[in-house]
Every structure is written in structure tokens, then in C-alpha cells.
Amino acid sequence: MTNMADNGERLDPDSTSAPMGSSTSGALPVPEGAVRGRLTRNAPLARHVWFKSGGAADWLFEPADTQDLKDFLGALDGRMPVMALGVGSNMIIRDGGVPGVVIKLGKAFGEIEVTGKTTLKAGASAPVSMVARRAGKAGIDGLRFLIGIPGSVGGVTRMNGGCYGRETCDVLTDCDVIMPGGEWATLTNADLEYSYRHSALPEGAVVVEARFEGFPGDPEEIKADMARISATRKESQPIGSMTGGSTFKNPAGHSSWELIDAAGLRGHRHGGAQVSEKHCNFLINTGNATSTEIEGLGELVREKVKANSGIELEWEIKRVGRV
Ligand SMILES: Cc1cc2nc3c(=O)[nH]c(=O)nc-3n(C[C@H](O)[C@H](O)[C@H](O)COP(=O)(O)OP(=O)(O)OC[C@H]3O[C@@H](n4cnc5c(N)ncnc54)[C@H](O)[C@@H]3O)c2cc1C
């Protein structure tokens, strides 16, 4: 297994029996032979997230393809929590690990295809920067903002990722998801009830493909603008660091980074976690920070900003798992 955890234990359900246990993490979560993908028990997740911190998933499932994912979710005990993980660029995995099953989509879900003059579709594991490039090359405009977001198609579909005044909801027409019970569903843009960094994607639903529509544009001009966007972000964000992107949503009429700066927190440290010197709304792991330290720093920031400005910051980063 290419991304198998050092102390994780891979189980090929069709060839290996799991020792039975009484806890959720002990017994094999689906009948033996039910799936073709990789199922790993007690799989460390730090390597899968940008912060490079946090505990293990009780189970990590990497489906072979969409049918395999359907079969897996259909066979899974309905009480077991399910969470999709993209590239972990907006995620704190808590140190106690994640209960239930984490679903990580691999290359089989990474295809991007131009489907019309202004339309394209992409698998959920495709990086959205690649979607932006492919669209630009095909003369499809309107998706250039995605060049600056380091997440996956699945991640932006759930998070309504955006920047420079554009959001995923401006370009996504619909998406295919596998529901927690294994049912296939197509959700339209309207079904997703998008708002700022939020969608109504049901808990435990896994996006497998999304379709986008832009408008005609000039490939050379789009390419040049995307190069400019990338350069600007390199200058203004700690993109080479272990970080989780924007920590807090911008409150109406305010920028979170300004509120954090005004509270005197630029560069503030808590254990191995630090408020970025470059961009105050980014927290960074300076080396060996625990997720508890990173989240603790975020809570401290919220407290100080509230005391200084009266404004309560709302987490944008998803924080998951056991403390
Ligand atoms: C340097 C940096 C800059 C960033 N800049 C921006 C920015 O400008 N604008 C912006 O909006 N964000 C930004 N982000 C945050 C992040 O890239 C986005 O939120 C992105 O949408 C997250 O995608 P991901 O694949 O990393 O998702 P993850 O962080 O892995 O997950 C985020 C959420 O999406 C869910 N999810 C992921 N994949 C799926 C799937 N297949 N099906 C269902 N749910 C899924 C997860 O369960 C979780 O709830 C930045 C992050 C970094 C590190």
C-alpha cells in the first residue's frame, strides 16, 4: 500500500481476517470480501493533512472505484461514522484520532474532462488547481480563482471554496455523491444550498464527481492571470508551511486577519503552534505541534479577538476527531 501508515495495519478484506474486538475500531467494519479497495485499521492521518498533526483513523478506506465505494458504504454498519478526507488543506485532525471510517479517494477519482465549449467534469480527488488549468487551456473562463486553492474537487464542493470574489457555487452545476447508506445521488447546485464556506452536503456523503460551467475566454489571458494569482498568493500566504488555510471565516464587514492583528496576535506562539507572521488568519505548525496546541491557539485567538473587538470569530477549518 503506497500510503500505508508505519504503525497502521493494512487488511485486504478478501484475504485477511481481522481479529475480532468489542470496540468500533476492532472488528472488520464490512464483511470479508465485500470490497476491493484498501482498508487499513488504526491508520495515522497526520501524513494526509497539511498541518501534519493529529491521530489515527479507526479505519481508513481507499476505494478502488465508485462501485467499490458504493459496496463498502452499503455493507457498513449504519451506526459507524463516515468522513471523507480530501487533501486535508482545511482540516485539524485531533490527537485522539477519528472514530469510524475515513474515506480517502485516490487516483481513480482524479480524472478531469472537458465536456463542452464551456463545461467540464472532474473526479473528487482532482486538485482544483488542475481543474482551473484544464479549463483555462480549453478557453473556459470563470474558474481561474481555483488556481489559488490547494484543495480537491470534493473539498471545495463541500466547503464552497473561493477567493477573489468567486466561489465554487458560481461554477458548480451539480455533483455525484455516494450517500452514507451506499446510495448514488446527483445533487444540483440548488440542492447544496450554498452560502459562505458552507454547503448542505449531507453528513457522511462522499462526493465522487463534480461538473462545472464557465464562459468563453482567452486561454493566454487566463494563463497569464493565473500566474499572477499564484505569485500574489506566494507572497501573501505561508503556502510552504504546515498550515490549514484560513482559520476563521471573515465576519460580515471585517477581515479576520485584521481583527487578529489588531488584537496583537501576529506571530503569537502556543507550544509548537504559531499565528503566521505573513498572514494572521493562518495558523502554522512550526515543527512538532500537536493538534491540541494548534486548536488551543485558535481558541486563544478567538478569546483575545472577542475581548479586543467584541467580535466572535467562527472557525472555517474543520476540526474532527477525539480530543
Ligand atoms: C495555503 C492554503 C491556502 C488556502 N486558500 C484558500 C482560499 O483561498 N479559499 C478557500 O476557500 N480555501 C482555501 N484554503 C482551504 C482549503 O484549500 C479549502 O477549504 C478546500 O476546499 C479544502 O479541500 P481539501 O481537499 O483539502 O478538503 P479537506 O481539508 O480534506 O476537507 C475539508 C472538508 O471537505 C470534506 N471533503 C473533502 N473531500 C470530500 C469528498 N470527496 N466528499 C465529501 N466531503 C469531502 C471533508 O470531510 C471536510 O469536511 C487554503 C488552504 C491552504 C493550506
Ligand 1 centroid to Cα of residue 15, in Å, is 34
Same-domain status, 114 and 195: yes
Per-residue pLDDT of the chain (323 residues; tens, 9 = 90+): 223 333 455 444 433 323 323 334 468 898 888 899 999 999 999 999 999 999 999 999 999 999 999 999 999 988 899 999 999 999 999 999 999 999 999 999 999 999 999 999 999 999 999 999 999 999 999 999 999 999 999 999 999 999 999 999 999 999 999 999 999 999 999 999 999 999 999 999 999 999 999 999 999 999 999 999 999 999 999 999 999 999 999 999 999 999 999 999 999 999 999 999 999 999 999 999 999 999 999 999 999 999 999 999 999 999 999 99
Find out whether the beta carbon of 150 lies less than 6 Å from any atom of ligand 1: yes
Q: Is residue 4 part of a domain?
A: no
Same-domain status, 193 and 279: no
Same-domain status, 191 and 255: no
Q: Is residue 117 part of a domain?
A: yes
Ligand 1 centroid to Cα of residue 22, in Å, is 34
Residue 158: active-site member: no
- The total number of structural domains in the chain stands at 3
Q: How far apart, in whole angstroms, are the C-alpha atoms of residue 98 and residue 96?
A: 7
Residue 62: active-site member: no
Output the domain CATH number for residue 156. 3.30.465.10
- Ligand 1 atom closest to the CA of 153, numbered from 1: 25
Q: Reduced to 3 states, what is the DSSP secondary structure of residue 108?
A: helix
SS (H, E, C) 46-75: HHHCCCCCCCEEEEEEECCCHHHHHHHHHH
Residue of 41, 94, 197, 211 with catalytic role: 197
Beta-carbon count within 10 A of 74 CB: 16
Ligand 1 centroid to Cα of residue 316, in Å, is 10
Contacts 24+ apart (CB under 8 A), 220-227: 222/135, 222/136, 222/139, 222/141, 222/144, 223/136, 223/137, 225/144, 226/132, 226/133, 226/136, 226/144, 226/147
Residue of 246, 256, 276, 291 with catalytic role: 246
Domain boundary among 104, 136, 169: 104
- Ligand 1 atom closest to the CA of 151, numbered from 1: 23
Q: Is residue 232 part of a domain?
A: no
Output the domain CATH number for residue 250. 3.90.78.10
Residue 276: active-site member: no
Q: Is residue 295 part of a domain?
A: yes
Q: How far apart, in whole angstroms, are the C-alpha atoms of residue 296 and residue 284?
A: 12
Same-domain status, 117 and 213: yes
Return the residue matching grid coordinates 481558541.
299
Q: Reduced to 3 states, what is the DSSP secondary structure of residue 112?
A: strand
Task: Tell me the sheet residues that pair with 128.
Answer: none
DSSP assignment of 161-196 equals -EETTEEGGGTEEEEEEE-TTS-EEEEETTTTT-BT
Question: Residue 299's domain spans which residues?
Answer: 238-320
Same-domain status, 248 and 279: yes
Domain boundary among 72, 104, 136: 104
Q: Is residue 66 part of a domain?
A: yes
Query: pLDDT at position 27, please?
Result: 80
β strands within 191-308, DSSP E? 206-213, 215-216, 242-246, 269-270, 273-275, 282-285
Q: Reduced to 3 states, what is the DSSP secondary structure of residue 284?
A: strand
Residue of 62, 167, 209, 316 with catalytic role: 316
Q: How far apart, in whole angstroms, are the C-alpha atoms of residue 312 and residue 66?
A: 41
Same-domain status, 122 and 63: no
Q: Is residue 281 part of a domain?
A: yes
- Specify whether the CB–CB gap between 91 and 131 falls below 8 A: no
**pTM as predicted:** 0.93
Q: Is residue 225 part of a domain?
A: no
Same-domain status, 156 and 216: yes
Ligand 1 centroid to Cα of residue 197, in Å, is 10
